[in-house]
Structure 1
Amino acid sequence: MAKPKIALLDYSMCNLLNVARAFEHCGADVTVTEDPDVARQADRLVVPGVGAFSDSMREVQSRGLADAIREFSHTGRPMFGICVGMQILFDASEEFGEHEGLGLLPGRVRAVPALTQTGDPQRVPHIGWNHLVEPAGGRDWMGTLLEPLSGADPAVYFVHSFAADPALDSDRLADTLYGGHRICAAVQRDNLMATQFHPERSGEIGLSLVRRFLDL
């Protein structure tokens, strides 16, 4: 059986080595690229990201990748955003001012609360392992990226100071609880899926999601 062909976008704001290794470990044929045409032609597209939202959007746009990502999202082929690669899929971010995103999912990127729900200070950025929970409205993970985690109590690895706040509950796939606040941890709409956490740093649970993505 041929290996799934993955285009892993390089726009100088990415932890490419660890992400590439995770996908290769799970059997993918990974091409790291900043070429929009290579991205458009891939079987599956992965949009990683670290750092500030505005810097990421600037680099994506300067390389001509913004239109390529938008066009790919409409093909029906699977696309996976990771961390800031998830955030830029939304309309806008409030990080260091107002910044426009790709507009593929309605919603805004907002700061992780610096106080718990009881008013105590909490560390920001949110760093470390935390559990995934179903969104407040509930969403069945069967048939989604998170299907391998159904019925489990999975913990995954986060590093972030901002997080997406989807406008539509139907896009919200999983949350995590931090200081009593619900923070969106994963989204999925049809072929478009993304995680705020890092699957490449989340051990076997993260690898199970990579394998799931490759099977979609």
Structure 2
Amino acid sequence: MASPRVTVLDYGSGNIRSAVRALEHVGADVTLSSDARDVSEADGLLVPGVGAFAAVMDALKKVGGLQKIGRRVAGGRPVLGICVGHQIFFDEGVEHGVRTAGMGEWPGTVERLQADVVPHMGWNTVETPADTVLFDGIEDERFYFVHSYGVQKWEFDVTQPKMRPPQVTWSTHGTRFIAGVENGPLSAVQFHPEKSGDAGLQLLKNWLGTL
């Protein structure tokens, strides 16, 4: 059986190599690229992201990343976002009073966490939905977070009765925030699975199993 082909979107984000190595460790054939064909033809696309929301959006625009990601999502082709690569799928990000539009796949605003200590850095547990696929078998494990911003409200309006609402995973640091979303072909997590030991590797393996 051939290994699933995964493209890690290369748009200048940091921490890409560790994500590539983690995917390779769990059996993926990985390409690091922003080429349109590599993005469209891969079995799965991983969107990494570290730093500021606005900077990541700008960097993605420069390589046509938003259109490439959007075409995959529209075509029902699997995408996984990590950290700021998770945040960009929401409506907007607010940093230092500046609002930056996101991709708008999910409702919500990325805002500074309401906590005594920010950034949220280190290991934390998550609250998973009952029918999760990404967290299957690792529901009680801890994952590694490094972030100061997150989405703290979920207001998904299902306008079509037959539409299945996304599955949302939560975590808490001062306040509850969204730690993961599973929405058909589009999934994303706020933490870094590539830095989360065996639990993170299992999450990536679970995602590969959906490709």
TM-score scaled to structure 2, two decimals? Answer: 0.90
Q: Does 1:173 align with 2:168?
A: yes
Partner of 1:211: 205
- Pairs within 5 Å for 1:79-94: 79-94=79-94
Alignment partner of 2:195 out of 178, 183, 201: 201
Partner of 1:161: 148
- Pairs within 5 Å for 1:126-137: 126-134=120-128
Ranges in structure 1 where 5+ consecutive residues have no aligned partner: 115-121
Amino acid corresponding to residue 137 of structure 2 in structure 1: P
* 8 A contact 2:120–2:148 mirrored in 1: yes
How far residue 102 of structure 1 moved from its aligned partner, in angstroms, is 1.1
Which range is displaced more, 78-87 or 67-76? 67-76
Partner of 2:107: 106
How far residue 100 of structure 1 moved from its aligned partner, in angstroms, is 0.6
Ranges in structure 2 where 5+ consecutive residues have no aligned partner: 158-164
Please give the alpha-carbon distance, in whole angstroms, between the structure 2 residues aligned to 1:77 and 1:207.
21
Please give the alpha-carbon distance, in whole angstroms, between the structure 2 residues aligned to 1:70 and 1:77.
10
Partner of 2:186: 192
Please give the alpha-carbon distance, in whole angstroms, between the structure 1 residues aligned to 2:155 and 2:93.
13
Amino acid corresponding to residue 148 of structure 2 in structure 1: S
CA RMSD of aligned residues (A): 1.5
SS at match of 2:199: helix
Identity score, percent: 40
SS at match of 2:137: helix
Please give the alpha-carbon distance, in whole angstroms, between the structure 2 residues aligned to 1:197 and 1:89.
15
How far residue 148 of structure 1 moved from its aligned partner, in angstroms, is 2.5
Partner of 2:134: 145
SS at match of 1:45: strand
How far residue 78 of structure 1 moved from its aligned partner, in angstroms, is 1.6
Partner of 1:74: 74
Please give the alpha-carbon distance, in whole angstroms, between the structure 2 residues aligned to 1:36 and 1:68.
7
